[in-house]
Amino acid sequence: MRIESLTQLTLTRFREFIREPEAVFWTFVFPLLLAGGLAIAFRDKAPEQAIIATIAAPAGDNAAASVSVALTAAASMKDAPIKTREIPSDSINDVLRTGTAALIVVPQAGGGVEYRFDSARPEARAARQITDDLLQRARGRRDVMPVKEVTVRERGSRYIDFFVPGLLAMNIMGSSIWSLAFAIVTQRNKKLLKRLAATPMSRLEYLLSFVLSRLLFLGLEIGVLLGFGVFVLDVPVRGSLATLVLVAFIGAAAFGSIGLLVSSRSRTVEGVSGLTNFVMLPMWIFSGVFFSASNFPAVIQPIVQALPLTALVNGLRAVMLQGVGISGVLPQLAVLGAYLVVCLTIALRIFRWQ
Amino acid sequence: MTPSPDPSLALEVIGLRKSYGDVVAVNGLDLRVVSGQCFGLLGPNGAGKTTTIEICEGLNTPDSGTVRVLGRTWDDDPTSLRAQLGIQLQETQLADKLTVIETLTLFRSFYTNGRSVDDVIDLVQLGEKRKARMIGLSGGQKQRVALACALVGNPQLLFLDEPTTGLDPQSRRQLWTLVEGLKAEGRTILLTTHYMDEAERLCDNIAIVDHGQVIALGTPRQLIASLGAEHVIRLATAVGDNTDPSHLHPIPLSDLLALADVRGGRETETGYELRVGSVQTALPPLLALADARGVTWTELSTHSATLEDVFVSMTGRQLRDG
């Protein structure tokens, strides 16, 4: 092991990366755009009004007309939870098909009411419930039990708070696997790997230079994405930064060794791309980046929990949102460490230098 | 057991064999390269040159046979052996985005002892391009960087695999001058090529390789002398106006070979090729015979015998045909 060649190899990796503008974009800018877009979609705002469509009561039917009057009165109250709009009676089906209203209220002869809605849509069910309450109360129903409401909107429980650690983990996985796979296979394809193997360069040095340059970029990646999360999106970091960085680094090392394994034999970028997607796709779906992994059935939970991305996502969330220390993320670190050791060992054994 | 290593040999290859599936690439090849020599492996594409040189470089393993590089085999301490070799591979593409000096600094870092990067850049005459990225260099300049990468470790033994293939004539001559400089410094060089002129100019000794075997061995002069002829005469004919292919050879080859001073020859696609001792002695009877048979030579050219003629006379094929 020579420090000089390790330094040179790492510098080479660094230079090749920063001289590839596209790689810089996909690693740094793209996740920011994604997080920014989601922040806009899930920004804090007052609960939305449900949009209710109604059709005019038949002329001369006073009982039916009173339903329309009650509905309009309810919708015009201050902070009304619903917004009404009158539609011609022949467009009911159109409105239901296009989902432009959550609920259609059809006043009935004799003062009754008919609700038309898609019971599979949660907001349609909620609209039905709210509208029904308003109409029943307007008609004199009295609630029999006193109710007190406390609404909570705590920082750290929003979707964006849930999502940012997931995004961070996904970015670590993607950049670690891709940067290694692409660089190694390109070098193999160009016979540069063979040329390097013909020098006295230690093979461990070569592989270590990838790990080191990954860690170098990882600092930047975490800094940019986390900074954006904390300062722009107001995502909390409740645990210590040191623990967070440790989890991220061990995660990056684990995915780096997975990247090494993925690229240990392939001769073409096309070949390794397929393999990379094959490895990453299940984790995008099952590891709980976009929604909680606990949604999956209990039968597949052991597999879900054994995925390295699940471990990294859960570890980062635990540190950022729950504020746990190292002892709280030991199981996740153990899973990641196991991937690191096993993949690296196999990769070193089967690595093809030409 | 193989005999003990001869200290004057930089490279010794005995009974080398290598197959890829059904394809036999190297079929019992022997080489002895004396220290300080420039040794050429000459042969068409697919002759087994690259497989042989890569086995010598420790990049490939033989099915059988012995390879001794600087008195050692690849079984013991390959890293320290690699430190003493300079290697230029066929078709290596160095990293596009690195500059010349960055590339060489990287390679230099692998060697404990070696030459300074600046020295090597000056040696291959790339001083002006030191800060240029590899992607912007010409083919000849890239090849010189590759040669420089082989030199930063200050190697005793250099392996150059087709160093001038694909280069323009000027770049080839520039590389030849560099190799001649390396020879003058007393380095041992093993060079593969399919260019005859390159081998004739650079190599002290040449092994002509075909189908994975050495078919001739010697200095360029010895090999040419082995033809038993100093000159080659090429002839093309036309009988009247008839250009029908069957009339390309109106005189039986045996009649031509029976002429005075003709040492050998063959029919070619356009006429004949004869090896002769002297053009002055051989030409008059040749012209007389043509007159007697009513044959007109439409083309007649002569040249001093070259390695190309050696290869053709041994295999019946042109070198570049592969």
**Same domain (yes/no): B211, B253:** no
Give pLDDT tens digits for A70-109: 888 888 887 788 888 888 888 888 888 888 888 999 888 8
- For the cut 90, the answer to whether the pLDDT of residue B230 exceeds it is no
Region B86-104 average pLDDT: 92
**Same domain (yes/no): B150, B266:** no
**Same domain (yes/no): B123, B180:** yes
- For the cut 90, the answer to whether the pLDDT of residue A44 exceeds it is no
**Same domain (yes/no): B80, B180:** yes
- The answer to whether position B61 is within a domain reads yes
Give pLDDT tens digits for B114-142: 999 999 999 999 999 999 999 999 989 99
Q: Which residues pair with B272 in a beta bridge?
A: B235, B267
- For the cut 90, the answer to whether the pLDDT of residue B98 exceeds it is yes
Which of A182, A186, A191, A195 to mutate to probe the B interface, most B CBs <10 Å?
A195
B58 — contact with chain A (CB < 8 Å)? yes
**Interface ipTM > 0.85:** no
- For the cut 60, the answer to whether the pLDDT of residue A284 exceeds it is yes
**Same domain (yes/no): A102, A198:** no
**Same domain (yes/no): B161, B18:** yes
**Same domain (yes/no): A332, A211:** yes
* Cβ atoms of residues B88 and B189 within 8 Å: no
**Spatial separation of the C-alpha atoms in residues A209 and A202, rounded to whole Å:** 11
**Same domain (yes/no): B208, B262:** no
**Same domain (yes/no): A184, A63:** no
- The answer to whether position B105 is within a domain reads yes
CATH number at residue A127: 3.40.190.10
**Spatial separation of the C-alpha atoms in residues B104 and B123, rounded to whole Å:** 13
**Spatial separation of the C-alpha atoms in residues B119 and B107, rounded to whole Å:** 14
* Closest residue by Cα to residue A256 from A337, A198, A331, A340: A340
Instruction: Kindly determine whether residue A192 and residue B92, on different chains, have CB atoms separated by under 8 Å.
Output: yes
- For the cut 50, the answer to whether the pLDDT of residue A215 exceeds it is yes
**Same domain (yes/no): B118, B265:** no
In chain A, the number of structural domains is: 2
What pLDDT, on the 0 to 100 scale, is given for residue A153?
Answer: 65
Contacts of B97 in chain A (CB under 8 A): 15-16, 19-20
CA distance A195 to chain B (A): 7
Distances in whole angstroms, Cα of residue A317 to Cα of each of A68, A165, A226, A251, A323: 49, 6, 12, 13, 9
Residue where one domain finishes, among candidates B176, B195, B217: B217
**Same domain (yes/no): B162, B239:** no
**Same domain (yes/no): B75, B209:** yes
Tokens (6 digits) for B289: 């015979």
Distances in whole angstroms, Cα of residue A300 to Cα of each of A286, A327, A348, B282: 10, 26, 31, 91
What pLDDT, on the 0 to 100 scale, is given for residue B177?
Answer: 93
B97 — contact with chain A (CB < 8 Å)? yes
- For the cut 70, the answer to whether the pLDDT of residue B245 exceeds it is no
In chain B, the number of structural domains is: 2
* Residues 6 or more apart whose Cβ sits within 8 Å of residue B44: B194, B210, B317, B319, B320, B321, B322
CA distance A157 to chain B (A): 45
What pLDDT, on the 0 to 100 scale, is given for residue A33?
Answer: 86
Q: What is the DSSP string of A219-283?
A: HHHHHHHHHIIIIIS-----S-HHHHHHHHHHHHHHHHHHHHHHTSS--SHHHHHHHHHHHHHHH
- The answer to whether position A147 is within a domain reads no
pLDDT band at B1 (very low <50, low <70, confident <90, very high): very low
- For the cut 50, the answer to whether the pLDDT of residue B222 exceeds it is yes
B91 — contact with chain A (CB < 8 Å)? yes
**Same domain (yes/no): A219, A295:** yes
CATH number at residue B63: 3.40.50.300
- For the cut 80, the answer to whether the pLDDT of residue B285 exceeds it is yes
- For the cut 60, the answer to whether the pLDDT of residue B240 exceeds it is no
Region A7-36 average pLDDT: 85
Share of chain B above pLDDT 90, in %: 52
CA distance A208 to chain B (A): 15
Residue where one domain finishes, among candidates A138, A163, A178: A138
- The answer to whether position A90 is within a domain reads yes
pLDDT band at B322 (very low <50, low <70, confident <90, very high): very low
Distances in whole angstroms, Cα of residue A275 to Cα of each of A177, A258, A261, B111: 11, 11, 10, 35
* Closest residue by Cα to residue B67 from B84, B85, B79, B54: B54
B100 — contact with chain A (CB < 8 Å)? no
What pLDDT, on the 0 to 100 scale, is given for residue A198?
Answer: 92
Q: Which residue type, as a one-letter code, is found at position B251?
A: I
**Same domain (yes/no): A249, A330:** yes
Torsion angle of alpha carbons B48, B53, B58, B62, nearest 10°?
A: 30
Residue where one domain finishes, among candidates A103, A138, A173: A138
Q: Which residue type, as a one-letter code, is found at position B170?
A: Q
**Same domain (yes/no): A246, A337:** yes
- The answer to whether position A25 is within a domain reads yes
**Same domain (yes/no): A60, A114:** yes
Region B132-153 average pLDDT: 93
**Same domain (yes/no): B29, B60:** yes
Q: What is the mean pLDDT of chain A?
A: 87
Choose between A186 and A67: higher pLDDT.
Answer: A186
Give pLDDT tens digits for A240-253: 999 999 999 999 99
**Spatial separation of the C-alpha atoms in residues A184 and A255, rounded to whole Å:** 15
B113 — contact with chain A (CB < 8 Å)? no
Helix axis angle for A241-262 and A269-286, nearest 10°, is 140
Contacts of A200 in chain B (CB under 8 A): 79-80, 82-83, 110-112, 153
**Same domain (yes/no): B44, B136:** yes
How many residues are given for chain A?
354
**Spatial separation of the C-alpha atoms in residues B161 and B193, rounded to whole Å:** 7
Burial classification of residue B294, based on how many CB atoms lie within 10 Å of its CB (0-12 exposed, 13-18 middle, 19 or more buried): exposed
Which of B85, B93, B109, B134 to mutate to probe the A interface, most A CBs <10 Å?
B109
B95 — contact with chain A (CB < 8 Å)? yes
* Cβ atoms of residues A166 and A288 within 8 Å: yes
Share of chain A above pLDDT 90, in %: 34
**Same domain (yes/no): B240, B119:** no
Tokens (6 digits) for A176: 């670690």
- For the cut 60, the answer to whether the pLDDT of residue A46 exceeds it is no
Nearest to B109 among A8, A191, A354 (CB): A8
**Same domain (yes/no): A107, A176:** no
Q: Are strands A82-86 and A50-54 parallel, antiparallel or unpaired?
A: parallel
Q: Is the dihedral of CA A165, A169, A175, A176 positive or negative?
A: positive
- The answer to whether position A150 is within a domain reads no
Angle at B67 between CA B66 and CA B72, to 5 degrees: 115
**Same domain (yes/no): A26, A60:** no
Helix axis angle for A3-18 and B100-108, nearest 10°, is 150
Instruction: Kindly determine whether residue A198 and residue B93, on different chains, have CB atoms separated by under 8 Å.
Output: no
3-state secondary structure of A287: coil
Burial classification of residue B54, based on how many CB atoms lie within 10 Å of its CB (0-12 exposed, 13-18 middle, 19 or more buried): buried
Tokens (6 digits) for B138: 């010409």
- The answer to whether position A216 is within a domain reads yes
* Residues 6 or more apart whose Cβ sits within 8 Å of residue A308: A173, A251, A254, A255, A258, A283, A335, A336, A339
* Closest residue by Cα to residue A105 from A150, A79, A138: A138
**Same domain (yes/no): A202, A166:** yes
- The answer to whether position A69 is within a domain reads yes
- The answer to whether position B35 is within a domain reads yes
**Spatial separation of the C-alpha atoms in residues B273 and A250, rounded to whole Å:** 73
* Closest residue by Cα to residue B198 from B215, B180, B184, B212: B180
B116 — contact with chain A (CB < 8 Å)? no
- The answer to whether position A343 is within a domain reads yes
* Cβ atoms of residues B251 and B293 within 8 Å: yes
Region B62-80 average pLDDT: 92
**Same domain (yes/no): A112, A171:** no
Instruction: Kindly determine whether residue A16 and residue B79, on different chains, have CB atoms separated by under 8 Å.
Output: no
> Which domain covers residue A246, as residue numbers?
8-42+155-350
Please state the φ and ψ torsions of residue A228, each to the nearest 5 degrees.
-60, -45
> Which domain covers residue B33, as residue numbers?
9-217
Choose between A293 and A341: higher pLDDT.
Answer: A341
Residue where one domain finishes, among candidates B217, B251, B266: B217
* Residues 6 or more apart whose Cβ sits within 8 Å of residue A272: A181, A182, A185, A262, A263, A266
Region B3-7 average pLDDT: 64
* Closest residue by Cα to residue A221 from A69, A29, A74, A57: A29
**Same domain (yes/no): A305, A209:** yes
CA distance B112 to chain A (A): 9
* Residues 6 or more apart whose Cβ sits within 8 Å of residue A260: A180, A184, A207, A210, A343, A344, A347, A351
CA distance A29 to chain B (A): 22
Residue where one domain finishes, among candidates B188, B217, B246: B217
- The answer to whether position A145 is within a domain reads no
Tokens (6 digits) for B195: 């260019």
**Spatial separation of the C-alpha atoms in residues A138 and A74, rounded to whole Å:** 8
Please tell me the pTM assigned to this model.
Answer: 0.77
**Spatial separation of the C-alpha atoms in residues B7 and B5, rounded to whole Å:** 6
DSSP state of A298: G
